[in-house]
C-alpha cells in the first residue's frame, strides 16, 4: 500500500478556510462580523445584515428547515440496480479521521467514514465485488484517509481492498483519481458509497466518472441518516467510467 503525501498545500488550506468562512452556518457569522464593521459608516445596512445573519442561523438551526433541506438532497434516487450491465466494483468515499493518543496508530477513521465503510462492507459481502477506497491527507502529519480506510476494512470487517487511492484532497479528486485507477483495470461500471446528503456533491464533482450526474441509481441503507450507495446511469441504466 503506497503512502500518500504528508503535506497539504497552501492553496488547499486557503480554499478550506474560505469555504469554512463563507458556507453556512459559519457564513452567517462572517456576515454578522462584516455588519459590525459597517455599523459606523452605514448603520442601517449593518443593522440589516446583522439581523439577516441572526435570522439565517435560527432558520438553519430549526429541525424542520434542516431536515427538509436534507430530504431535498436525497430525493429522486432510483433504488433498483440495472440488470443488464451491473456494477463491476465498489468505490467508498472517505470522510474524516480522528487523531489518537497513546496508541500504536496516530489516527483512525472517524464516525462518518466508519459508517460508509460498514455499508461498503455489507455491499461487498452481498456482491463479492472488488473495493476501491479513496481519500488523501486531510490533516498535516497524519496518514491518508484511504490508507486508514483500508486498514479498517481489513481489521474491523474482514473485507479485502483491491485498490487504495490516497492522493486526493477533495471530492473532485476522489472521482478523477479513482477513475484513473479503474480505467487501468478495465472497470467501467461502479457503485459509489457515501452518505445520502453527500451523494449529489459526489456525482457533480466527478464528471469524468459520472458524465451525466443528473441520472444515477442508489440503494438506501437503514443506517440512521440514510446512507446510500449509488452509481450513475447513462442513457442506458449502466454506470460507466469513460476511457481516458
Q: Is 82 helix (H, G, I), strand (E, B) or coil?
A: coil
Domain limits of the chain? 10-61, 89-232
Segment 186-206 shows an average pLDDT of 77
Q: Is the pLDDT of residue 142 over 80?
A: yes
Q: Is the pLDDT of residue 144 over 60?
A: yes
The beta strand positions in 16-138, using DSSP E, are 89-93, 97-99, 107-109, 131-134
* Band (222; pLDDT cuts 50, 70, 90): very low
What does pTM read for this prediction? 0.72
Q: Grid coordinates standing for 163?
A: 485498490
**Domain formed by 89-232, architecture:** 3-Layer(aba) Sandwich (3.40)
Q: What is the pLDDT of residues 58-116, one digit of tens each?
A: 888 888 887 787 777 777 655 555 666 678 888 899 999 998 877 778 899 999 999 99
Core vs surface per residue 224-241: b (16+ CB within 10 A) or e: eebbbbbbbbbeebbbbb
Core vs surface per residue 107-120: b (16+ CB within 10 A) or e: bbbbebbbbbbbbb
Residue 216 has a pLDDT of 41
DSSP codes joined into one string, 109-138:
E-HHHHHHHHHHHHHHHHH---EEEE----
Which residues pair with residue 190 across a beta bridge? 89
Q: Is 47 helix (H, G, I), strand (E, B) or coil?
A: helix
More confident residue, 157 or 65: 157
Q: Is the pLDDT of residue 175 over 90?
A: no
Amino acid at each position: 500500500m503506497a503512502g500518500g503525501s504528508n503535506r497539504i498545500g497552501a492553496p488547499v488550506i486557503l480554499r478550506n478556510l474560505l469555504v469554512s468562512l463563507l458556507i453556512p452556518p459559519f457564513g452567517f457569522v462572517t456576515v454578522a462580523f462584516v455588519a459590525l464593521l459597517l455599523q459606523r459608516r452605514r448603520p442601517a445596512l449593518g443593522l440589516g445584515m446583522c439581523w439577516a445573519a441572526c435570522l439565517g442561523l435560527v432558520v438553519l438551526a430549526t429541525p424542520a428547515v434542516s431536515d427538509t433541506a436534507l430530504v431535498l438532497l436525497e430525493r429522486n434516487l432510483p433504488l433498483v440496480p440495472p440488470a443488464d450491465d451491473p456494477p463491476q466494483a465498489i468505490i467508498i468515499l472517505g470522510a474524516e479521521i480522528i487523531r489518537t493518543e497513546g496508541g500504536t496508530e496516530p489516527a483512525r477513521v472517524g464516525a462518518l467514514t466508519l459508517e460508509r465503510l460498514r455499508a461498503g462492507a455489507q455491499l461487498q459481502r452481498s456482491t463479492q465485488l472488488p473495493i476501491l477506497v479513496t481519500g488523501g491527507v486531510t490533516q498535516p502529519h497524519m496518514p491518508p484517509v484511504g490508507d486508514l480506510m483500508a486498514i479498517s476494512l481489513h481489521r474491523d470487517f474482514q473485507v479485502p481492498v483491491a485498490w487504495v487511492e490516497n492522493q486526493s484532497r477533495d471530492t473532485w479528486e476522489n472521482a478523477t483519481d479513482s477513475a484513473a485507477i479503474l480505467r487501468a483495470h478495465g472497470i467501467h461500471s461502479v457503485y459509489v458509497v457515501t452518505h445520502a446528503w453527500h451523494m449529489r456533491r459526489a456525482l457533480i464533482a466527478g464528471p469524468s466518472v459520472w458524465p451525466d450526474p443528473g441520472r444515477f441509481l442508489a440503494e438506501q441503507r437503514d443506517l440512521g441518516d440514510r446512507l446510500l450507495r449509488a452509481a450513475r446511469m447513462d442513457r442506458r441504466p449502466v454506470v460507466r467510467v469513460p476511457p481516458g
